[in-house]
């Protein structure tokens, strides 16, 4: 199976960690690359690679190993989809409060490898904050485990955290243990249309002073799709700020009232979404913002200090007024979607990176049209001074350089 | 290994750091024999006090050229011997890097040098509406650098997480003397080295500067002390509260033995016949707290709680927390020596491990009193002995070891927040197995190639100095 | 073989090894929670300069594992004996009871023989300080210079640096002259209903330099229904001797005081300066002889004036003083006697007075008895730190309940030319009872 992104010659469907290890060892002996695949929702993420190799699907490693729900911990196979995982937790009125795009298909292993997150990041952090331990297979085909199954553990090095966001370049995750949280009683979103984007700054600054603590602070701007539930007002707004609240009924009611008063004080009439279905759809829209929509799109994710969010969003809009932008403003994360023919992607990515650099931040490409074949520097940007030590780590875990070669920040070939 | 002695490089160190930045007179080194763990001692060959990251890097490079090991030290409150130069060489004290460089509420971030005290930051933030969440019991004395090294927790871990959840970035010196700066802005094009350096006890890098996340102060608190008829009841109640989906800010347990010491120290007025007391704190918005408290109280009552008493004033709450946080030190009032253990088990296994502790205490004839961050399943049994009595030292060590082995058997770990240091290195293989330790070793090789940072700490190795196995014959230095 | 035992300046040190009861060392469990409370550790970041380290050093010396060489002595001498570590210690270590006898033994050993003769200690500390009259006489040249306006000039051009070290330090400490009031009488009656009968401890430096505060204290006590006896025959509390290593000199001062007060006739012995108060309260601890029981009975009657008035129940003063003030905890009151909230409550009873929190209020100002004379460098670092914190409060008045702190803070305020008044809590209460306002220095070229 070839998928347009990875030069895979065949795909192995692993049934066990041992089979993963065996596959990696076999590939190693043949000096062939290994491309781990979970839900195949993020194949467009990472640099284009030409090294042919094996696809290694983890989708069948989707079993539940242990769920002592009263401990609020759970151990599952890396191939379990987040959708399935969510349903499992829901039975115990628990959840993993990390928003991963296309959750129905994306897998837990993929979420670890990509470190995707969404609106709730502001209050709940990223998957790293829930990952207690894991089992994985390194580039030499050795199975190892790291961390444990307790919520607090200071023994040894936390190799699980090292694998978060490493895009499968150090090891193939086969099983993870996560800490989970109780499902909150209530959830609501409050939206405000902004005549100009700058207005968001004063609103966000006033939030710091107030006692209002949302779980998500989302700022949407630019050319949102006409039918997007994120849009507010008559369509002339420069942006819309969405504040998400979760907690007990009493808490959410108090927060919504207080936040609404805050908005009115600054001359904005807020819109409240608190019906379960409607709020659910809105959360979903926010979480799925980076997901592909069938059009040729360059999706860039920028990170700046939270106070620079609006400035960074504006600078990206200046590049292309037709971009659609969603900021997780509390964290300084900006996701920008540019309608973009494949041949323009590299130049646009580079312009976006430069714009973000000027606001003190960093940018990476989340996805680009398959045909654009962006290289490492286009996707990840120029090498930083810490790359040297990271390459040393890579060599220790994948001495032959066979895991996802060329897709992450590391050069291909045997180091 | 043909390495130099630190005494050979004193002139170079003085040139780098000034005369006042180096202690080398043997009489000046005595106090650096040990930290909060007194059972194992080793005197450094010199102590240095760099005041900048660059100077720290220079010291590391100099030591590399002369093959001299180094151990980093903050306030020296480690309970696992994390600051003891067990492999010899230099102690690098970061206590003179103690500036708070920036506080930005809008970015919810503070930038501090590693030697800044946790309390110093707390005081600087008082009144701003924000705080740095990790609050280990040694908070009044320990440094942020130390918190980062051990991935420190504290009572409020239950709701707010441990140090790594509150670190946005670090500046650090790697084993080869390279300076790296990671964060504070999220960087996708990188491995999460911050994530592994935090908690590595100074054996992957020396962290000199930290960007920490600030957390909004809760609007209000409900802090109650609940008197239980048995430790068993108390731990079952704690487990039930978690299972009910309530996330208190903290749930702490103290048993009768420790209550006596604490009350002597702070005259709180705990009932003298209470077998166990839980301190439970709920925090958040004022509006919803009483509702939550009612639910918590009901669960406690189902487990035979004798009384549920709420701290009536801010002062009373502060005193209650002081009692809890100072509890371990107060043990000095009832025993000449003690070892505080730091085991962790899945929350539901808490009653079981408590029963095991009682059994082990009887078996070894070692009195054990208990405090616990019960909500996290983190127990701190305190083993009382007399360091002048060699047999009691031996029994205390044996009891401590058995206790941690029980934690492992319950699916837990041998340290939740104190770190491995040198104290628990002998149990690393039991916990992880040789194979997994080998993988950890690779990470150390990448960041700290000759293992000179923190030599002999965290990871066992055949050529690391033999420690604690010899402790049966340990004696006061020299 | 231990090289330390063979170091050239190793001495027999038998007296040192016997100075401290070994079980006192065992109270310390080496947790380190005291370190951050220690002013010298906070400044230097060196464990040798912190309480845990010092206890360890003394223990090593006592156990014979370390020779009492010059390095260890230096570290122990740098201790302010402010006892902030005792307040911080969860284990209840009696730090004062360890370091005081140990340093005493160190001093005694040092001053054996002519080589150890110290003119400052013998002439100034022992012959001058304990006597209020002599101090007043010795201050005359400085006072004259102050009256002529020369003092300011002398201080600015650094004239006092020409005086031999500790004398120069002393001269700069002298506070500017204020109306001292007449010699204290032997009795003052209560105003209004009589609520208590007390005796007042006068002291030496306090009487020479702060007689106006004595008068304020007496008037406040009168306002609160106290008959006050001021017995003859009392003198210095003995703290100066004790801390400079003269145990015998301190004992005779103590015995004179114990003899001067008729305990049966009074409810309490009132003292208004923390350093003296801490010493008086420890009379029962320092010497073991046939008079120990008498000293202990005396000590039990001693009350700091803040503590006493707070317990008695202050009759609220009526005169408003509309000013921002901040309260500095004198070590010998806060850590030595555990009195922290009483003076604050008293001050807050003054209408309109705004009492602002002082950061690091528990950290010593560097005065510490004669510390600022013996360790001027560290004392200077600490007072600068203290002033930074004071200035940050924006207060116009600093209140402290101890002569040493008042002098030390006062000197730095003059040096930095800050518009701050430095007063005793009783000065403030007295003004309010009398419906008067404090004299606030004007900003005088201050930044």
Closest chain A residue to the Cα of B447, Cα to Cα: A389
pLDDT at position B455: 93
Q: Name the minimum distance, in Å, from the CA of A282 to any CA of chain B.
A: 25
Do strands C421-423 and C397-400 pair parallel, antiparallel, or not at all (unpaired)?
Answer: parallel
Say if residue B300 is in the same domain as residue B259: yes
Cβ-defined contact of B196 to A158 (cutoff 8 Å): yes
B28, B117, B477: residue with CB nearest C48: B28
| B278 part of a folded domain | yes
Q: How many B×C Cβ pairs under 8 Å?
A: 114
Q: Name the minimum distance, in Å, from the CA of B240 to any CA of chain C.
A: 32
From C310, C337, C360, the end of a domain falls on C310
Say if residue B342 is in the same domain as residue B308: no
Domain tally, chain C: 4
Say if residue B353 is in the same domain as residue B321: no
Separation of alpha carbons B12 and B62, rounded Å: 8
H/E element, A363: strand A362-367
Backbone angles phi, psi at A390, to 5 degrees: -65, -35
Separation of alpha carbons C207 and C183, rounded Å: 9
Say if residue B350 is in the same domain as residue B323: no
Cβ-defined contact of B187 to A385 (cutoff 8 Å): no
Q: How confident is the model at residue C129 (pLDDT cuts 50, 70, 90)?
A: low
Closest chain A residue to the Cα of B171, Cα to Cα: A386
- B-chain residues within 8 Å CB-CB of A380? 188-189
Contacts of A19 (CB under 8 A, 6+ apart): A12
Q: How confident is the model at residue A372 (pLDDT cuts 50, 70, 90)?
A: very high
- C-chain residues within 8 Å CB-CB of B32? 47
Q: Does B333 touch chain C (CB under 8 A)?
A: yes
**For the residues B117-127, what does the mean pLDDT come to?**
94
Contacts of B83 (CB under 8 A, 6+ apart): B34, B35, B71, B72, B73, B74, B76, B91
Q: Is the pLDDT of residue C110 over 80?
A: no
Say if residue C395 is in the same domain as residue C350: yes
B27, B75, B329: residue with CB nearest C91: B329
> CA torsion, points C117, C118, C121, C126, in degrees to nearest 10?
40
Q: Name the minimum distance, in Å, from the CA of B271 to any CA of chain A.
A: 31
B180, B200, B419: residue with CB nearest A386: B180
Which of B172, B174, B189, B413 should we substitute to test contact with A (largest number of A Cβ atoms within 10 Å)?
B189
Contacts of B326 (CB under 8 A, 6+ apart): B137, B262, B265, B266, C33, C90
Say if residue C209 is in the same domain as residue C243: yes
Q: How confident is the model at residue B1 (pLDDT cuts 50, 70, 90)?
A: very low
Separation of alpha carbons C27 and C91, rounded Å: 7
Closest chain A residue to the Cα of B417, Cα to Cα: A154
Separation of alpha carbons A227 and C407, rounded Å: 76
Least confident of A108-112, C161-165, C167-171: C161-165
Do strands A53-57 and A8-13 pair parallel, antiparallel, or not at all (unpaired)?
Answer: parallel
Say if residue C155 is in the same domain as residue C218: no
At A201-214, the pLDDT tens digits run 888 888 888 889 99
pLDDT at position A392: 97
Domain with C289, as residue range(s), is 187-310
Indicate which CATH number applies to the domain containing C203: 3.40.50
Q: Name the minimum distance, in Å, from the CA of B36 to any CA of chain A.
A: 17
Sign of torsion, CA B338 B342 B345 B348? Answer: positive
Indicate which CATH number applies to the domain containing B371: 3.30.70.2740
Domain with B371, as residue range(s), is 335-409
Q: 3-class secondary structure for B272-333?
A: CCCCEEEEEEEEECHHHHHHHHHHHHHHHHHCCCCEEEECCCHHHHHHHHHHHHCHHHHHHH
Q: How confident is the model at residue C143 (pLDDT cuts 50, 70, 90)?
A: low
pTM, whole model, 2 decimals?
Answer: 0.91
| B92 part of a folded domain | no
Closest chain A residue to the Cα of B414, Cα to Cα: A155
pLDDT at position C166: 66
Say if residue C306 is in the same domain as residue C322: no
pLDDT at position C14: 80
Say if residue B262 is in the same domain as residue B316: yes
**For the residues C68-95, what does the mean pLDDT come to?**
91
**For the residues C334-349, what does the mean pLDDT come to?**
95
Say if residue C110 is in the same domain as residue C139: no
pLDDT at position C154: 59
Question: Which chains share 3+ C-beta pairs under 8 angstroms with B?
Answer: A, C
Say if residue B307 is in the same domain as residue B242: yes
Separation of alpha carbons C281 and C295, rounded Å: 9
**For the residues A163-175, what does the mean pLDDT come to?**
98
Compute how many other C-beta atoms are within 10 angstroms of the C-beta atom of residue C179.
7
Give yes or no for a contact between B173 and B94, defined as CB atoms under 8 angstroms apart.
Answer: no
Give yes or no for a contact between C232 and C184, defined as CB atoms under 8 angstroms apart.
Answer: no
Say if residue B261 is in the same domain as residue B289: yes
Which of B7, B319, B329, B478 should we substitute to test contact with C (largest number of C Cβ atoms within 10 Å)?
B329
Mean pLDDT (chain A, rounded)? 94
Say if residue C45 is in the same domain as residue C102: yes
Backbone angles phi, psi at B267, to 5 degrees: 50, 45
Domains of chain A, earliest start first: 1-183+384-415 (3.30.465.10), 186-287 (3.30.70.3450), 297-380 (3.30.70.120)
From C310, C329, C347, the end of a domain falls on C310
pLDDT at position B39: 85
| B13 part of a folded domain | no
Residue with tokens 């900048």: B52
Q: Is the pLDDT of residue C223 over 60?
A: yes
Percent of chain C as helix, strand, coil, to the nearest 5: 55, 5, 40
Q: Is the pLDDT of residue B467 over 50?
A: no
Domain tally, chain B: 2
Q: From the CA atom positions of chain A, what is the Rg in Å?
A: 21
Separation of alpha carbons B414 and C51, rounded Å: 31
Q: Is the pLDDT of residue B233 over 60?
A: yes
Separation of alpha carbons C363 and A150, rounded Å: 41
Interface ipTM above 0.90: yes
Indicate which CATH number applies to the domain containing B289: 3.30.70.2190
Mean pLDDT (chain C, rounded)? 86
Among B265, B257, B401, B425, smallest CA distance to B329 is for B265
Q: Is the pLDDT of residue A414 over 50?
A: no
From C289, C310, C331, the end of a domain falls on C310
Give yes or no for a contact between B200 and A157, defined as CB atoms under 8 angstroms apart.
Answer: yes
Say if residue B321 is in the same domain as residue B377: no
| C443 part of a folded domain | no
Cβ-defined contact of B439 to A331 (cutoff 8 Å): no
Closest chain B residue to the Cα of A162, Cα to Cα: B192
Please, which residues bridge with residue A335 across strands?
Answer: A301, A326
Q: From the CA atom positions of chain B, what is the Rg in Å?
A: 22
Chains B and A contact (Cβ–Cβ under 8 Å for 3 or more pairs): yes
Indicate which CATH number applies to the domain containing C407: 3.40.50.1860
From B329, B353, B374, the end of a domain falls on B329
3-class secondary structure, B445: helix
| C418 part of a folded domain | yes
| B227 part of a folded domain | yes
Say if residue B358 is in the same domain as residue B378: yes
Q: Name the minimum distance, in Å, from the CA of B299 to any CA of chain A.
A: 15
**For the residues B347-359, what does the mean pLDDT come to?**
92
- As a whole-number percent, the residues of chain C with pLDDT over 90 amount to 61
Q: Is the pLDDT of residue B272 over 50?
A: yes
At A217-268, the pLDDT tens digits run 999 999 988 888 999 887 788 999 999 999 999 999 999 999 999 888 888 8
**For the residues A361-390, what does the mean pLDDT come to?**
95
Residue B395: is the preceding peptide bond cis (ω within 30°)? no
Cβ-defined contact of B157 to A152 (cutoff 8 Å): yes
Contacts of A30 (CB under 8 A, 6+ apart): none
| B438 part of a folded domain | no
**For the residues A263-290, what does the mean pLDDT come to?**
92
Two tokens at B11? 């002139």
From B295, B329, B363, the end of a domain falls on B329
- A-chain residues within 8 Å CB-CB of B348? 68, 70-71
Contacts of C247 (CB under 8 A, 6+ apart): C104, C108, C241, C286, C287
Q: Is the pLDDT of residue B90 over 60?
A: yes
Say if residue C275 is in the same domain as residue C360: no
pLDDT at position C7: 43
Indicate which CATH number applies to the domain containing C105: 1.10.1060.10
Backbone angles phi, psi at B371, to 5 degrees: -125, 155
- B-chain residues within 8 Å CB-CB of A364? 188-189
Which one has a higher pLDDT value, A205 or A120? A120
| C181 part of a folded domain | no
pLDDT at position C155: 60
Q: Does A411 touch chain B (CB under 8 A)?
A: no
**For the residues C49-72, what does the mean pLDDT come to?**
93
- B-chain residues within 8 Å CB-CB of A333? 186
95-124 in B: which are within 8 Å (CB) of C? 95-96, 98, 115, 117, 119, 123
Q: How confident is the model at residue C6 (pLDDT cuts 50, 70, 90)?
A: very low
| B268 part of a folded domain | yes
Chains C and A contact (Cβ–Cβ under 8 Å for 3 or more pairs): no
| B9 part of a folded domain | no
Which one has a higher pLDDT value, C119 or A327? A327
| B60 part of a folded domain | no
Two tokens at B185? 């802005």
Sign of torsion, CA C69 C75 C80 C85? Answer: negative
Say if residue B299 is in the same domain as residue B339: no
Say if residue C325 is in the same domain as residue C288: no
Say if residue C246 is in the same domain as residue C290: yes
Say if residue B346 is in the same domain as residue B374: yes
Least confident of A34-38, A169-173, B270-274: B270-274
Say if residue B245 is in the same domain as residue B280: yes
Say if residue C86 is in the same domain as residue C150: no
Cβ-defined contact of B107 to A307 (cutoff 8 Å): yes
From B329, B357, B389, the end of a domain falls on B329
Least confident of A90-94, C271-275, C287-291: C287-291
Among B380, B383, B382, B378, smallest CA distance to B366 is for B383
A152, A304, A361: residue with CB nearest B344: A152
Both ends of chain B: CA-CA distance in Å? 24
């Amino acid at each position: 199976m070839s998928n347009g992104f990875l030069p895979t010659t065949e795909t192995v469907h692993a049934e066990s960690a041992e089979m993963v290890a065996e596959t990696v060892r076999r590939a190693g002996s043949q000096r062939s690359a290994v491309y781990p695949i979970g839900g195949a929702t993020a194949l467009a993420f990472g640099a284009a690679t030409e090294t042919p190799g094996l696809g290694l699907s983890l989708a069948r490693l989707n079993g539940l190993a242990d769920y002592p729900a009263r401990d609020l911990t759970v151990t599952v196979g890396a191939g379990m989809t987040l959708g399935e995982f969510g349903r499992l937790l829901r039975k115990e009125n628990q959840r993993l409060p990390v928003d991963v795009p296309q959750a129905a298909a994306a897998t837990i292993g993929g979420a670890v490898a990509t470190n995707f997150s969404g609106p709730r990041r502001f209050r709940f952090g990223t998957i790293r904050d829930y990952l207690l331990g894991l089992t994985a297979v390194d580039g030499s085909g050795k199975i190892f485990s790291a961390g444990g199954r307790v919520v607090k553990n200071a023994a040894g090095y936390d190799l699980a955290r090292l694998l978060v966001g490493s895009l499968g370049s150090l090891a193939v995750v086969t099983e993870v243990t996560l800490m989970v949280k109780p499902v909150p009683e209530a959830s609501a979103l409050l939206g405000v249309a902004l005549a100009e984007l700058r207005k968001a700054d004063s609103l966000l600054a006033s939030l710091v002073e107030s006692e209002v603590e949302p779980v998500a602070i989302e700022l949407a701007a630019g050319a949102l799709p006409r039918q997007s539930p994120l849009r507010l007002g008559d369509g002339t707004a420069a942006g819309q700020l969405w504040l998400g609240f979760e907690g007990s009924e009493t808490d959410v009611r108090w927060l919504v009232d207080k936040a609404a008063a805050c908005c009115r004080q600054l001359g904005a009439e807020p819109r409240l979404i608190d019906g379960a279905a409607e709020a659910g759809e809105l959360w979903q829209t926010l979480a799925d913002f980076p997901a592909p929509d069938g059009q040729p799109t360059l999706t860039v994710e920028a990170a700046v200090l939270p106070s620079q969010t609006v400035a960074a969003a504006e600078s990206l809009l200046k590049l292309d007024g037709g971009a659609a932008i969603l900021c997780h403003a509390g964290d300084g994360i900006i996701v920008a979607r540019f309608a973009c023919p494949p041949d323009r992607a590299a130049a646009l990515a580079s312009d976006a990176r430069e714009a973000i650099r000027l606001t003190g931040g960093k940018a990476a490409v989340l996805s680009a049209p398959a045909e654009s074949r962006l290289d490492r520097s286009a996707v990840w940007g120029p090498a930083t001074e810490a790359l040297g030590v990271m390459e040393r780590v890579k060599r220790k875990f994948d001495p032959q350089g066979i895991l996802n070669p060329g897709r992450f920040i590391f050069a291909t070939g045997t180091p | 290994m043909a390495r130099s002695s630190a005494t050979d490089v004193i002139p170079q160190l003085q040139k780098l750091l000034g005369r006042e930045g180096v202690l080398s007179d043997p009489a000046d080194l005595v106090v650096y024999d040990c930290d909060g763990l007194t059972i194992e001692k080793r005197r450094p060959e010199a102590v240095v006090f760099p005041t900048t990251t660059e100077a720290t890097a220079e010291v590391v490079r100099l030591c590399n050229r002369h093959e001299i090991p180094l151990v980093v030290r903050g306030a020296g409150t480690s309970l696992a011997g994390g600051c003891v130069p067990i492999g010899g060489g230099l102690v690098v004290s970061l206590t003179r890097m103690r500036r708070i460089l920036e506080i930005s509420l809008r970015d919810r971030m503070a930038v501090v040098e590693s030697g800044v005290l946790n309390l110093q930051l707390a005081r600087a933030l008082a009144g701003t509406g924000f705080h740095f969440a990790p609050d280990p019991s040694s908070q009044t004395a320990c440094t942020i650098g130390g918190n980062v090294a051990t991935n420190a927790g504290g009572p409020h871990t239950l709701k707010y997480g441990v140090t790594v959840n509150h670190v946005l970035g670090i500046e650090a010196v790697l084993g080869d003397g390279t300076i790296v700066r990671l964060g504070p802005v999220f960087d996708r094009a990188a491995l999460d080295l911050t994530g592994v350096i935090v908690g590595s006890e100074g054996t992957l890098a020396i962290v000199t500067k930290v960007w920490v996340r600030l957390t909004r102060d809760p609007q209000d608190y409900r802090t109650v002390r609940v008197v239980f008829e048995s430790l068993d009841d108390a731990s079952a109640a704690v487990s039930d509260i978690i299972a009910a989906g309530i996330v208190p800010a903290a749930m702490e347990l103290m048993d009768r033995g420790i209550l006596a010491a604490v009350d002597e120290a702070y005259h709180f007025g705990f009932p003298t016949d209470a077998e166990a007391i839980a301190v439970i704190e709920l925090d958040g918005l004022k509006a919803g707290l009483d509702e939550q408290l009612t639910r918590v109280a009901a669960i406690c009552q189902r487990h035979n709680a004798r009384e549920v008493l709420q701290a009536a004033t801010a002062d009373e709450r502060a005193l209650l927390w002081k009692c809890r946080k100072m509890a371990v030190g107060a043990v000095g009032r009832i025993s000449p020596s003690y070892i505080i253990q730091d085991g962790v088990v899945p929350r539901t296994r808490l009653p079981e491990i408590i029963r095991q502790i009682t059994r082990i205490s009887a078996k070894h004839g070692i009195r054990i009193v208990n405090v616990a961050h019960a909500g996290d399943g983190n127990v701190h049994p305190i083993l009382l002995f007399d360091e002048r009595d060699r047999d009691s030292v031996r029994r205390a060590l044996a009891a401590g070891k058995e206790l941690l082995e029980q934690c492992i058997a319950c699916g837990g770990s041998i340290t939740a927040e104190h770190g491995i240091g040198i104290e628990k290195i002998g149990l690393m293989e039991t916990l992880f197995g040789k194979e997994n330790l080998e993988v950890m070793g690779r990470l150390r090789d990448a960041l700290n190639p000759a293992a000179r940072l923190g030599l002999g700490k965290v990871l066992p190795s055949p050529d690391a100095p033999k420690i604690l196995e010899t402790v049966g014959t340990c004696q006061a230095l020299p | 073989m231990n090289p330390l035992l063979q170091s050239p300046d190793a001495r027999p040190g038998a007296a040192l090894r016997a100075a401290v009861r070994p079980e006192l060392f065992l109270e310390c469990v080496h947790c380190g929670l005291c370190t951050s409370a220690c002013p010298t550790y906070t400044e230097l970041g060196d464990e040798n300069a912190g309480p845990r380290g010092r206890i360890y050093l003394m223990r090593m010396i006592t156990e014979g594992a370390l020779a009492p060489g010059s390095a260890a002595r230096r570290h122990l001498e740098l201790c302010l004996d402010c006892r902030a570590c005792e307040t911080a210690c969860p284990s209840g270590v009696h730090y004062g009871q360890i370091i005081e006898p140990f340093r005493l033994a160190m001093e005694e050993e040092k001053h054996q023989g002519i080589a150890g003769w110290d003119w400052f200690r013998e002439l100034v500390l022992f012959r001058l300080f304990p006597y209020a009259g002599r101090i007043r006489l010795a201050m005359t040249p400085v006072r004259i210079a102050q009256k002529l306006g020369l003092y300011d000039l002398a201080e600015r051009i650094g004239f006092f640096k020409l005086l031999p070290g500790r004398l120069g330090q002393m001269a700069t400490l002298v506070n500017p002259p204020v109306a001292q009031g007449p010699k204290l009488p032997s009795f003052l009656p209560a105003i209004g209903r009589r609520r208590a009968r007390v005796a007042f401890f006068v002291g030496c430096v306090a009487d020479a330099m702060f007689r106006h505060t004595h008068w304020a204290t007496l008037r406040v006590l009168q306002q609160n229904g106290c008959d006050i006896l001021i017995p003859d025959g009392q003198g210095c509390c003995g703290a100066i001797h004790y801390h400079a290593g003269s145990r015998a000199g301190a004992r005779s001062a103590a015995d004179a005081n114990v003899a001067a007060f008729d305990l049966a006739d009074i409810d309490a012995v009132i003292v208004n300066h923390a350093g003296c108060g801490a010493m008086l309260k420890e009379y029962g601890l320092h010497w073991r002889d046939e008079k120990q029981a008498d000293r202990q009975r005396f000590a039990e009657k001693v009350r700091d004036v803040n503590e006493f008035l707070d317990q008695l129940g202050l009759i609220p003063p009526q005169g408003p003083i509309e000013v921002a003030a901040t309260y500095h905890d004198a070590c010998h009151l806060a850590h030595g006697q555990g009195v922290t909230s009483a003076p604050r409550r008293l001050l807050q009873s003054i209408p309109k007075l705004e009492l602002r929190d002082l950061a690091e209020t528990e950290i010593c100002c560097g005065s510490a008895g004669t510390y600022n004379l013996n360790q001027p460098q560290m004392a200077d670092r600490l007072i600068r730190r203290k002033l930074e914190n004071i200035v940050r409060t924006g207060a116009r008045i600093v209140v402290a309940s101890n002569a040493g702190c008042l002098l030390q803070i006062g000197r730095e305020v003059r040096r930095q030319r800050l518009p701050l008044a430095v007063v005793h809590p009783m000065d403030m209460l007295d003004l309010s009872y009398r419906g008067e306002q404090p004299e606030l220095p004007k900003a005088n070229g201050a930044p």
